[in-house]
Structure 1
Amino acid sequence: MDVIAPPATGVRHHWAGLPALVRSAVEDILGARVVEARSQSGGFSPGVAARVRLADGRRAFVKAVSAETNPSSPDLHRAEARHTAALPPGTPAPRLLGSYDDGTLVALVLQDIDGRQPRIPWEPAELDRVLAAVGELGTALTPAPFDAPAAAVRKARMFTGWRTLPAEGDTSRLDPWAARNLGLLAELESGWEEPAAGDSLAHSDLRADNILLTDERVVFVDWPHALRAAPWFDLLTMLPCVAAQGGPDPETVFTTHPLGRDADPAGVTAVLAALTGYFVASSLKPAPPGLPTLRAFQRAQGAAALRWLRGRLGHRAP
């Protein structure tokens, strides 16, 4: 399958551009002076994302964003700090070392993981590693180790795309099959909450740019969107992105994976319809500040999810 998703990138700022007070606060958390900072390009956060080296040779990862850059991003950093701090020991995620918050700018100081993102297009061996790790993560985080919001609460406003498009969007820009079956898609979407419910802690934003491969393990980074859901929720929500980045058929992967093969087919279709509607409807909106490739990325995920959904519906939606 071809890669149809653009790189996941936000407008990055440099460590040196942070206010001196913030840089000093980060160094106080780390207990040493930062002598080198290398910006990292992957991911949608519109701020600082840098691997830093300290005067004593230790390393850390610093991410920071201001409400002046993007009004919603500081709250995501605050959520990431809470969730990361609450993950149980042994979770394949970076440790939170500390944070800074002045009400406008939020900075997180995290363990630096000596790894790299998966190669795009996806290589089969690397995808197999990640899929196995997603299964292990789902098992390890069931029951949820902390009281994260339920999927029905976290996604309540997001998973309404097919139902709100006629009033809020230009349906002439829809895929012809989706436009022809908009009523059915809206009906399916309206039933997503019950099958998505569960007591597994889901990352809920698994993409290649939120995954690091080391020699020994797979590490999942960026946890602001964590929620409680069915054990297969993470697997389902990541597969459209995998397909858009050159990965295999999501239906085959999902139905043969330990987390997906026993899932109720009708429930899976309802959640997939809701996810697809979110991607498609979001891709038609103007780009948010500091995230120039987000809408194109969502458009690619929406196209992959729509192909998957159309295949599951078959003769129900000609």
Structure 2
Amino acid sequence: MSRPPAVGGSRVPWSRVPEEVRAAVEEFLGGRVIEARTQEGGFSPAAAVRLRTEHGRRAFVKTVGPEPNPDTPPIYRAELRIAAALPESAPVPRLLTGFELAGWVTLVFEDVEGEHPELPWRRDQLDRVLEALARMSRALTPSPVADAPTVAEVFGDSFHGWRRLTGEDTAGLDPWALRHLGELAELEAGWEEVAAGDSLAHGDLRADNILLAGERVFVVDWPWACRAAPWFDLLCMLPSVGMQGGPPPWELFADAEPAVVAAVAGYLARQSRQPPPPGLATVREFQRAQGVVALEWLRRRTGWD
């Protein structure tokens, strides 16, 4: 098995965070930071650090400014709004505070002593995560965040990748997808209605957004949270599981809705063909690898030859 692409952005070290932002965090924590450990993984060109103060207090801080990617601060603002509204019963690190200063959006969470799942996926860890995901879906139905956006509002045209590809250069597109492009555009057209629901979905679940801490499973990074069908997170997560050495998605979710599988596969197929966003050099390779798995799932789910 070839090694899956790494998840990694351009992490900003704590020392390069503006002084006024660092000072505000220290004031909240009640002491000078004497240890700052950058946490790798994730695509965001931001600081993601586990901090320890002179008095022994710990926290996890993520903070981002307008460069190199001006689209990232609004994403962090969305996460701050969602994180502040999540109930204590949600399997998430507790948000301690959040603020915006000097153009930087900062979120301060409790520090969770956990690790990401091992890759390639171990089946015992995957089973733990899938069970936790099922519990989370039940606990967050109906959505405890009443004003969370709908799945259509969050993903909108992004999940009409096949339709958009019908008007673009398709050189190098998978031959099966190219042969069925018009049919795929029609199939994905119904995804919004099928995926609608009143569960609060994470919207971007992957191994790097999961922490295993003893017997507990924590889900982190919620900027794409939305109201959706209770199975939406599972469906969206499975292409990355298959790509990262786990079972293929058709073995884990045999009756997945074809329209939503088409929407996810089309999103990955089209996005992976775009130039990388500023500061996110590896994201397209990651999407491309997920797209291979999602497309095979779609081929099997449709039964088209």
The residue type paired with residue 251 of structure 1 is W
Match of 1:167, SS state, is coil
Match of 1:10, SS state, is coil
Deviations 1:144-191 (A, max 9, x none): 0012101111111211110011323x2111111111110111011111
1:95 and 2:84 aligned: no
Match runs of 1:68-217 below 5 Å: 68-102=67-101, 104-146=103-145, 147-168=147-168, 170-217=169-216
Change (3 A) 1:3 1:150: farther
Deviations 1:28-47 (A, max 9, x none): 22222111001111111101
User: In 1, distance between residues paired with 2:142 and 2:106?
Assistant: 30
Report the equivalent of 1:67: 66
Match runs of 1:242-281 below 5 Å: 242-255=241-254, 268-281=257-270
RMSD, aligned CA: 1.2
Report the equivalent of 1:300: 289
The residue type paired with residue 227 of structure 1 is C
Change (3 A) 1:83 1:3: farther
The residue type paired with residue 299 of structure 1 is R
Report the equivalent of 1:285: 274
Q: How many residues align?
A: 304
User: In 2, distance between residues paired with 1:3 and 1:57?
Assistant: 42
8 Å Cα contact 1:205-1:238 kept in structure 2: yes
8 Å Cα contact 1:4-1:244 kept in structure 2: no
Match of 1:301, SS state, is helix
User: In 2, distance between residues paired with 1:58 and 1:279?
Assistant: 41
The residue type paired with residue 160 of structure 1 is H
User: In 2, distance between residues paired with 1:273 and 1:4?
Assistant: 25
Report the equivalent of 1:232: 231
Match of 1:101, SS state, is strand
8 Å Cα contact 1:115-1:214 kept in structure 2: yes
8 Å Cα contact 1:29-1:97 kept in structure 2: no
The Cα shift of 1:64 comes to 1.1
Deviations 1:55-104 (A, max 9, x none): 11121111111112211100111111111110111211011111231362
User: In 1, distance between residues paired with 2:36 and 2:101?
Assistant: 22
The residue type paired with residue 221 of structure 1 is V
8 Å Cα contact 1:3-1:121 kept in structure 2: no
8 Å Cα contact 1:243-1:249 kept in structure 2: yes
Percentage of matched positions with identical amino acids: 56
8 Å Cα contact 1:70-1:289 kept in structure 2: yes
Deviations 1:180-218 (A, max 9, x none): 110111011111111100000000111000000011200
User: In 1, distance between residues paired with 2:83 and 2:126?
Assistant: 24
Structure 1: 5+ residue stretches without partners: 256-260
The residue type paired with residue 298 of structure 2 is L
With structure 1 as the length reference, what TM-score do the two structures score?
A: 0.93
The Cα shift of 1:231 comes to 0.5
1:12 and 2:1 aligned: no
